[in-house]
Amino acid sequence: MAYQNSTLPFEKMLIKFMTEEDPMLSMLKWLCEKLMVAEVEAKLGAEKSERAPERQGYRSGYRVRRL
C-alpha cells in the first residue's frame, strides 16, 4: 500500500504501518517510494505535473517492482 502525499503526524503514520501484515516491509516500501520520487524530481528539476522552465525531462510512467 502506498502512502503518497501523506501529511499524517508521525504517531498516526506509525500506527498505520503497525496495522499492516508486515510493518517493517510496509515502512521499507514507503521509504523506497519516497526516495525514488525525490531522485526523479531532483533529476528532472520539477515535481510531478509541474511546469517549470528549468525542467530537464518528462516522467514516462512506472513499473511495479516487488521487494
pLDDT score for 13: 84
Domain assignment present for residue 66? The answer is yes
In a domain? residue 15: yes
Cα-Cα end-to-end distance for the chain: 13
Whether 31 is covered by a domain: the verdict is yes
What pLDDT sits at residue 48?
Answer: 74
Dist CA 25 CA 67 (whole Å): 8
Whether 34 is covered by a domain: the verdict is yes
Biggest alpha carbon–alpha carbon distance for the chain: 44
Give the three cell numbers for residue 59. 516522467
pLDDT at 25: 92
Supply the pLDDT for residue 2: 52
Q: d(Cα 20, Cα 43) in Å, to the nearest integer?
A: 32
Flag residues of the chain having pLDDT under 70: 1-7, 61-62, 67
Domain count, the chain: 1
Residue 39 lies in a domain: yes
Nine-digit cell string for 58: 518528462
In a domain, 2, yes or no: no
Domain residue limits at 57: 7-67
